[in-house]
């Protein structure tokens, strides 16, 4: 078990910190994944007990590796393979949710009115 090898980009993808493995690899290459204050490459092997600081798009993570997960599983199962050590001030500053992904789409019922809403507004303003 101690000789198991797992790349950091695959590990971060499998525990659902990043939506795709490519995003995890890009985060490593751009210096957003650090161990002991030093940036790590995507090809670095993960070992149990190591701590990583990760700056994802929606929040900052500080995790300790408690197990190696080679395949992507449900979020509830993936949580068993790391310990979240993120300080509370970093949890609140992230925004909406920690495990949600930004899709670029606007939220429904927010923004411009629909055609029916606009007609109702026009009728209201004319009277």
pLDDT digits over 80-93, tens only?
Answer: 999 999 888 777 65
Is residue 15 within 8 Å of residue 81, measured between CB atoms?
yes
Q: Is residue 116 part of a domain?
A: no
Q: Is residue 104 part of a domain?
A: no
Neighbours of 119 (CB within 10 A): 11
- pTM, two decimals, is 0.69
- Percentage of the chain surpassing pLDDT 90? 58
- The tokens 């949710």 sit on which residue? 97
Radius of gyration of the chain (CA): 20
Asked if pLDDT for residue 50 goes beyond 90, the answer is yes
CATH number for 15: 3.10.290.10
Sign for the CA dihedral angle at 79, 82, 83, 85 comes to negative
């Amino acid at each position: 078990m101690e000789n198991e090898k797992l790349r950091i980009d695959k590990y971060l993808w499998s525990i659902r910190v990043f939506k795709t493995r490519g995003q995890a690899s890009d985060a490593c290459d751009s210096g957003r994944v650090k161990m002991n204050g030093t940036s790590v490459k995507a090809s670095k092997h993960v070992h149990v007990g190591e701590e990583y600081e990760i700056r994802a798009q929606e929040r900052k993570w500080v995790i300790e590796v408690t197990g190696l997960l080679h395949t992507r599983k449900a979020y509830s199962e993936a949580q068993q393979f790391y310990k979240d050590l993120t300080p509370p001030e970093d949890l609140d500053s992230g925004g909406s949710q920690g495990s949600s992904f930004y899709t670029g789409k606007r939220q429904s019922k927010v923004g411009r009115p629909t055609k029916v809403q606009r007609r109702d507004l026009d009728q209201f303003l004319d009277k």
